[in-house]
Amino acid sequence: MLLDDGSSTSEYPPQAPRRWPKRLLVGGIVTLVLAAIAAFAVSAFALSGASIEADGSSLGKVSTDTFGGEVSNVTATAVKSGKDVPVAMKGDLIVPTTPLHPGEQVKVEVTVKRPSTIGFLAGSEKKLTTTATAPVAKPETEWISVKNGKDPYVHFDHPVSQVSYGQPGELKHRHFDPPRDSFSLGPQPAAGQMIVAGAPWEKSMEHVGKFKSVTWFPATGKPTIAANPIAGSTISASTPIELTFSKKVKKIFGSEKPTLSPEVKGKWSQPDPHTLRFVPAGFGAPLATDLKVELPEEVEVVQSDGSVENASEVKWEVPAGSQTRLTQMLAELGYLPWKFTGEEVAKTPEAQVAAATTEAPKGHFNPRWGNMPSGLKALWKPGEEGNVLIEGALMSFEEREGLEVDGVAGPVVWEALMKAVIAGNVKPEKGAANGYTYVWVNESSPETVNAWHNGKMIVSDAPANTGIPGAETELGTHNVYLRYEETTMSGENPDGSHYSDPGIMWVSYFYGGDALHAFDRASYGSPQSLGCVEMPLEEAGEIWPYTPIGTPVTVNPA
């Protein structure tokens, strides 16, 4: 059907063009934007990571992704002590700013700050932690075989940037860039021993490690020993002894073992097939003696100058303790007229040996009595070698301990003294033979003898006779070394004739044939004897009980 305007009824009424709803269009755009943002967020989040990777040249290497951010803070703490360890970032590396010790463990904490664009999604910060260990480098072997004319080389199990080597107190230091795993000790004797330490890092980051002894031997094929301490050197009583052999010990000696002379308490061990080690116990090696290891057979022994000598023993010198400590112990035990007050030493062998051989305790001496004779005071020289009062005190101690009486602090005496200090065996003070006595003789006319004991005068200005010309009494101070209640005295007169006088009473020898004793004379107070100090029987009998072995006797000139 056609309408008046000629159009068909099938198209009537006319249709408008189809359009998208506005809300749908906006929604689509928003969806696309959100999808893009989400995709960006997912991508950015995926690229916002950070981590600490192990790094052999530092405490760690910090790695961050594109949106990972930057390190804002780094701290470190020593695992063992809990103390802070100063560190800094050097590029992406975490480095200590004060040297660490090899093997030291450090806990590291790093704070990474992310960009604000991603921070609201992944978090503004990320915490990273790790535990790092300062590297360790050690010599691969402690014994080196060196061909004739070649320098000994030390090889490490890890490349080192710095080394220290030499003898204690005389170390050399070298630095390597780049690090190396071996270095030369330079021209050296045919055989010898040094201590060596190394560190993989530079000295600003790490100390060198523990020192190890390395020993080199001539590559002759003959069995050689290098001792530590070196053969012929001076050692302390408690010094461990280590013998390093160029060949395996069993191959050289079989089932036989070295022995120590004199015998020392302690324990032998074999740390490795090439080494024997002895660790002293108790009082250790005797003081004031030569210590030696006797070997089952003759070998080459490295000497202190680096040469080698064929020998069947290795020797060292163990010095005596200090004179200061000797004086302190004798005073503490009551063998001197002075007492010692000061730092206490533990009542153990190890502590007593250390006090005798390293550093004597600090303190001071005070007189035991307030009225000591001036002559006795003048003799007091603590710490002086060869002091007559120390000699006399040692003689008294030796006599009481049943030892050889010579007034010398030898190996046996030192150990006996230390044992007495530990046990508290103080010399008794009561009784004529105990405490302390001082005798002095005046040759001024009239000649007299005096005896002082424990702060009291026993005999004052008793008449006496001394030696005639040609047989003078020895002047100075000497200690009583031999005593008799009664004996026969014999000898030679100045004219060459001989004499023998039986029944001499109250005899105390103090120098050679010079003695304090009784002798019947018509008068006293002038030179009449053949060197002795003669006294009337009564006075001699009063003095004799107070003159035990070690009593100092001073003869003053006229």
- Tokens standing for residue 307: 């040469």
Number of Cβ atoms within 10 Å of the Cβ of 550: 24
Q: Is the pLDDT of residue 3 over 50?
A: no
Q: What is the pLDDT of residues 161-189, one digit of tens each?
A: 999 999 888 999 999 999 999 999 999 88
Q: 3-state class of 255 per DSSP?
A: coil
- What is the DSSP secondary-structure string of 259-319? EEES---EEEEEEETTEEEEEE-TT-SPSSEEEEEEEEEEEEEE-TTS-EEEEEEEEEEEP
Q: Could you give the CA distance from residue 193 to residue 252 in angstroms, rounded to a whole number?
A: 20
Residue 124: pLDDT band (50, 70, 90) is: confident
Strands of the sheet containing 476-479, edge to edge, are 456-463, 448-453, 437-442, 552-556, 476-479
Indicate the range of 228-237, 366-375, 416-425 predicted with least confidence.
228-237
- Tokens standing for residue 412: 């046996």
Q: What is the pLDDT of residue 368?
A: 96
- CA-only gyration radius of the chain, Å: 45
Classify burial at 74, counting beta carbons within 10 Å of its beta carbon; exposed 0-12, middle 13-18, buried 19 or more.
buried
Q: What is the pLDDT of residues 76-114, one digit of tens each?
A: 999 999 999 999 999 999 999 999 999 999 999 999 987
Q: What is the pLDDT of residues 258-284, one digit of tens each?
A: 999 999 999 999 998 999 999 999 999
Q: Is the pLDDT of residue 18 over 60?
A: no
Q: What is the pLDDT of residue 505?
A: 98
Mean of pLDDT values over 400-406: 96
Domains delineated in the chain: 1-95+106-133 (no CATH), 143-218 (2.60.40), 225-318 (2.60.40.1220), 323-423 (no CATH), 437-556 (2.40.440.10)
Q: Is the pLDDT of residue 424 over 60?
A: yes
Mean of pLDDT values over 516-533: 97
Q: What is the pLDDT of residue 121?
A: 56
- Of 18 and 263, the one with more pLDDT: 263
For 143, residues 6+ apart whose C-beta sits below 8 A from its C-beta are 214, 215, 216, 217, 244, 245, 246, 274
Q: What is the pLDDT of residues 294-344, one digit of tens each?
A: 999 999 898 877 778 899 999 999 999 999 999 999 999 999 999 999 999
Q: Is the pLDDT of residue 495 over 50?
A: yes
Mean pLDDT of all residues in the chain?
Answer: 90
Q: Is the pLDDT of residue 41 over 80?
A: no
Q: What is the pLDDT of residue 2?
A: 47
Q: What is the pLDDT of residue 304?
A: 77
The answer to whether 278 and 258 are in contact (CB under 8 A) is no
Helix (H) or strand (E) holding 388, with range, is helix 388-401
Indicate the range of 114-118, 210-214, 362-366 predicted with least confidence.
114-118
Closest CA to 522 of 465, 444, 450: 465
Measured at the CA of 27, the angle between CA 23 and CA 29, to 5 degrees, comes to 125
β-bridge pairing 125-133 and 105-113: antiparallel
Q: What is the pLDDT of residue 174?
A: 96
Q: Would you give the end-to-end CA distance of the chain in angstroms?
A: 179
Q: What is the pLDDT of residue 37?
A: 52
Q: What is the pLDDT of residue 149?
A: 85
Q: What is the pLDDT of residues 128-171, one digit of tens each?
A: 999 999 999 999 988 898 988 899 999 999 999 999 999 888 99
Q: What is the pLDDT of residue 384?
A: 82
Number of Cβ atoms within 10 Å of the Cβ of 459: 19
**Helix, strand, coil percentages, rounded to 5, for the chain:** 20, 40, 40
Q: What is the pLDDT of residues 499-508, one digit of tens each?
A: 999 999 999 9
Residue 44: pLDDT band (50, 70, 90) is: very low
Helix (H) or strand (E) holding 35, with range, is helix 22-46
What are the DSSP E strand ranges found in 372-492?
437-442, 448-453, 456-463, 476-479, 482-492
Residue 25: pLDDT band (50, 70, 90) is: low
| Structure letter (DSSP) for residue 529 | B
Give the phi and the psi of residue 130 in degrees, each rounded to 5: -160, 160
Q: Provide the greatest CA pair distance for the chain.
A: 195
Q: What is the pLDDT of residues 450-493, one digit of tens each?
A: 999 999 999 999 999 999 999 999 999 999 999 999 999 999 88
Q: Could you give the CA distance from residue 93 to residue 75 in angstroms, rounded to a whole number?
A: 13
Closest CA to 555 of 405, 407, 450: 450
Mean of pLDDT values over 537-557: 98
Measured at the CA of 476, the angle between CA 474 and CA 478, to 5 degrees, comes to 85
Residue type, 48: S
Number of Cβ atoms within 10 Å of the Cβ of 503: 9
